[in-house]
């Protein structure tokens, strides 16, 4: 499993967004990026995290930050989730979990006594030059946006 550190260059990637467009992380150079990883669209924790980013979207934008959500769900699922909760940011499909692996957030999880491979809820704050300035592995849904905003204050 890859372990990234503060100060590392954020691994670049290409993904299809909920709007059908292909985006690269490097497309956002010159802006700060809050890249957050979540396990599954429209589940309680993931909805709480996404709605938290939605509710603080203006504060994040005021700090020159773009929000990108990443999960293994496909574009159609992302589109439905985004519409249902009026999410104002892009959701990226990572169906082969390649991006999650690059960021060290794909691994063994357990729920209800079953072990499986999946996303560990995490986020990365990336500066205008593409360097990681904050990492939160296994962050709680309700703490993610608060910690991201705190990192953007620095």
Residue ranges and CATH numbers for the domains of the chain are 14-153 (3.40.30.10)
pLDDT of residue 1: 54
pLDDT of residue 154: 82
Query: Which is catalytic among the residues 4, 34, 46, 67?
Result: 46
Active site residue 51: no
The model carries a pTM of 0.94
* pLDDT tops 90 at residue 136: yes
What are the CA-CA distances from residue 148 to residues 9, 26, 49 (Å)? 18, 20, 12
């Amino acid at each position: 499993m890859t372990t990234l550190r503060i100060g590392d260059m954020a691994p670049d990637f290409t993904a299809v967004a909920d709007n059908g467009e292909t985006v690269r992380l490097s497309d956002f150079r010159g802006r700060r990026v809050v890249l957050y990883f979540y396990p599954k669209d429209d589940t309680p924790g993931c909805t709480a995290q996404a709605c938290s980013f939605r509710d603080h979207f203006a504060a994040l934008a005021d700090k020159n930050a773009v929000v990108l959500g990443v999960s293994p769900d496909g574009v159609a699922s992302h589109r439905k989730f985004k519409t249902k909760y009026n999410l104002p940011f892009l959701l990226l499909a990572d169906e082969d979990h390649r991006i999650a692996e690059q960021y060290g957030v794909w691994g063994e999880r357990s729920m209800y006594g079953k072990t499986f491979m999946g996303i560990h809820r995490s986020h990365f704050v990336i500066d205008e030059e593409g360097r990681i300035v904050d990492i939160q592995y296994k962050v709680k849904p309700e703490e993610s946006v608060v910690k991201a905003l705190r990192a953007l204050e620095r």
